Amino acid sequence: MRLARALVASRAATALLMVAGGAACSGPSEPAQDGRTRLTITQPATSPTPAAGHTVVFEAEGAGGVDKASHATYGAGPKTGQDVDVPLPYSKTLHVTGDLGLVTLFVQNPGADGSVTCQVKVDGKVVGEAETDNPYGVCRVQVDSLGE
């Protein structure tokens, strides 16, 4: 009777550990020489797979004396943001899971001279580029179809 209770308790503990901690039992429980049930528990060897996603890099640089942008506005999927008075060259990286939807980058030249070039990369591939040499011009990259 005592051995039966120990075996039931051991199996219940194994089930609890497996559910709560992702542990696995290495084999059937066997009685040890002292009459107790011996149980070997191991942790999984692999970590969970990270969620699939994309790495989006927004870049801008100035020429002709342009060393900063008055603002850089960027977005990919549900993630958006804006940086103000940013030094050029500029780079911002976002990690986005799921559908990217519309990917955008707007970078404004703060002056009357020079030019601003901007570029967007998704997973290392250039998906859009633009340049403006207009006074106070805005460099615009918008990509709404990445073949997803």
Q: What's the CA gap between 15 and 25, in Å, rounded?
A: 9
Say if residue 14's pLDDT is above 50.
no
CA distances from 36 to 4, 18, 26, 28, 69 (A): 10, 21, 17, 14, 73
Transcribe 19-64 into DSSP letters. Answer: HHH--EE-S--EE-TTSPEE--EE--SSPPPPPPEEEEEEEEEEET
**pLDDT given for residue 40 in this prediction:** 58
According to CATH, the topology of domain 53-143 is: Immunoglobulin-like (2.60.40)
pLDDT in tens, 96-115: 998 888 999 999 999 999 99
**In the chain, where are the structural domains located?**
2-42, 53-143
This prediction has a pTM of 0.65
